[in-house]
Amino acid sequence: MTMNKIDPKILETARQWTMPPYDEQTRQQVQYLMDNDAAELIESFYTDLEFGTGGLRGIMGPGTNRMNIYTVGMATQGLANYLKMNFPDKNPIQVVIAHDCRNNGRLFAQTTANVLSAN
């Protein structure tokens, strides 16, 4: 599959991930997909990773449909927005963050803490 057959919205989102504020490694990985692997590019960007009954789960890697610090951060910001909207008189709002030994568990917990503390 060639890049000109990919949905323009997918390409635009992927292009955004090749620029700051995304980290250099992520930018390089996305550029590699754009240059070499259209099928994986589509799979990584065709939708946003969804929070389900088992939490935020998915394949790790760059993209909106993958587990990474950016998708974890976006989901966490959504949680922060929800908490602030639904508990306006609760200040400070307190949450508990935990992780297990799965790959990047600590990194994702730290990302969550960073986003929540910025709110």
Domain boundaries, the chain: 1-67, 72-119
What is the SS3 assignment for 20-81?
CCCCHHHHHHHHHHHHHCHHHHHHHHCCCCCEECCEECCCECCCCCCECHHHHHHHHHHHHH
Please state whether the predicted TM-score (pTM) of the whole model is above 0.85: yes
pLDDT one-digit tens code per residue, 63-117: 999 999 999 999 999 999 999 999 999 989 999 999 999 999 999 999 999 999 9
